[in-house]
Amino acid sequence: MNMTYREAISQALRQAITRDERIFLMGEDIGRYGGSYAVTKGLLADFGEERIMDTPISEAGVVGVAIGAAMGGLRPVVELMTINFALLAMDQIVNHAAKLLCMSGGQITIPLVVRTVGGAGRQLAATHSQSFEGWFAHVPGIKVATPASPYDAKGLLRAALDDPNPVIFIEHSLLYGLAGDVPEEEYSVPLGKADVKRTGTDVTIVAYSRMVQVALEAAALLEKEGVNAEVMDLRSLRPWDKETVLASVKKTTRAVIAEEGWRTGGFGAEVASTIASEGFDYLDAPVQRVAGVEAPMPYNKALEQAAIPKASDIIAAVRAVL
């Protein structure tokens, strides 16, 4: 069935709540308002206030309550309006959700899903347009999912909901309207398994989240120049599938990594380091990285677009490795 990224996530939540009485949703404006991005629209009317909970504006409080609920045997799904607001809950996520399993000697599990929205492109200015997925991927004890398509959004969310560990599920605001073929029935896309979105022989383009769609656009343009690019979607950053990436680089002998966030300390550096250290003998050129401009995101539309990586940036990097 053809549905949008937004609809796929909404359907996954609806099916999960129906299937498992332990699952409930909590967040700011997710009930009566239907969510800032309309993902939870209609769920309150269908499932009631015990399953769809509007909360006060306190990210620290919301995530803290959800951790307690998870410790008590429930499976909470928290919606944080944007990943920028996750900064207000970093202590709960990083120091509690991520560590309680280890610090309790395996006695306490935290089956928590934190849904949040990352990325730029909607003129929301510097404090509401950031990509912090690499921060969370840095932390052991947390899993990080970054779906780039409607099919993966639904399947990865099912995997996150079934996982006994805390999962940060990052949706890109510019992908909500993206449509694709999605099965009506429930299915799971495993966390930690990359997907080859386009096969090729000349260069491997590694990306995640919205940059996968930009990489596919670049690959289509490169094809007109006679360059056959393989596009690899990581789908999740912790765990991430280095084996599939290395197998692709072994075949193409060249690699370009594209991400929307800042280059310094970005997750692309982890991928580049792994390719260089474990796949050095495969490479016929240095690994190239494409990332956002190192500056707070401008509000001005033209400047914002200039700060976000484009297909032309990926094409320039591909030409460099060729």
**Could you report the per-residue pLDDT of 140-166, keeping only the tens digit for each?**
999 999 999 999 999 999 999 999 999
Are 169 and 245 in the same domain? no
Are 34 and 125 in the same domain? yes
Can you tell me the distance from the alpha carbon of 168 to that of 160, in angstroms, rounded to the nearest whole number? 9
Are 95 and 223 in the same domain? no
Asked whether the beta carbons of 10 and 39 are under 8 A apart, the reply is: yes
Can you tell me the distance from the alpha carbon of 196 to that of 187, in angstroms, rounded to the nearest whole number? 19
Report if residue 200 sits inside a domain: yes
Are 124 and 206 in the same domain? no
For the stretch 29-53, pLDDT in tens is 999 999 999 999 999 999 999 999 9
Residue pLDDT tens, the chain, 322 long = 999 999 999 999 999 999 999 999 999 999 999 999 999 999 999 999 999 999 999 999 999 999 999 999 999 999 999 999 999 999 999 999 999 999 999 999 999 999 999 999 999 999 999 999 999 999 999 999 999 999 999 999 999 999 999 999 999 999 999 999 999 999 999 999 999 999 999 999 999 999 999 999 999 999 999 999 999 999 999 999 999 999 999 999 999 999 999 999 999 999 999 999 999 999 999 999 999 999 999 999 999 999 999 999 999 999 999 9
Are 94 and 154 in the same domain? yes
DSSP-based helix, strand, coil % in the chain, nearest 5: 40, 20, 40
DSSP helix/strand/coil, 132: coil
Which CATH number belongs to the domain containing residue 21 in this structure?
3.40.50.970
Are 131 and 76 in the same domain? yes
Are 11 and 152 in the same domain? yes
* Residues known to be catalytic: 59, 128
Report if residue 190 sits inside a domain: no
Region of 204 please: left (phi>0), alpha (psi -120 to 50) or beta. Answer: beta
Q: Is the dihedral angle over the CA atoms 28, 4, 17, 76 positive or is it negative?
A: negative
Are 268 and 159 in the same domain? no
Are 242 and 147 in the same domain? no
For the stretch 236-247, pLDDT in tens is 999 999 999 999
What letter would DSSP give residue 144? E
Domain count, the chain: 2
Token couple for 73: 């045997």
Report if residue 186 sits inside a domain: no
Q: Where in the chain does DSSP place strands (E)?
A: 2-4, 23-27, 52-54, 75-80, 113-118, 143-145, 167-172, 179-181, 195-198, 203-207, 229-233, 236-238, 255-262, 288-292
Are 53 and 8 in the same domain? yes
Which domain does 138 fall in, by range?
Answer: 2-181
Residue 234's pLDDT is 98
Are 98 and 55 in the same domain? yes
Are 248 and 173 in the same domain? no
| Whole-prediction pTM | 0.97
Domain final residue pick, 139, 156, 181: 181
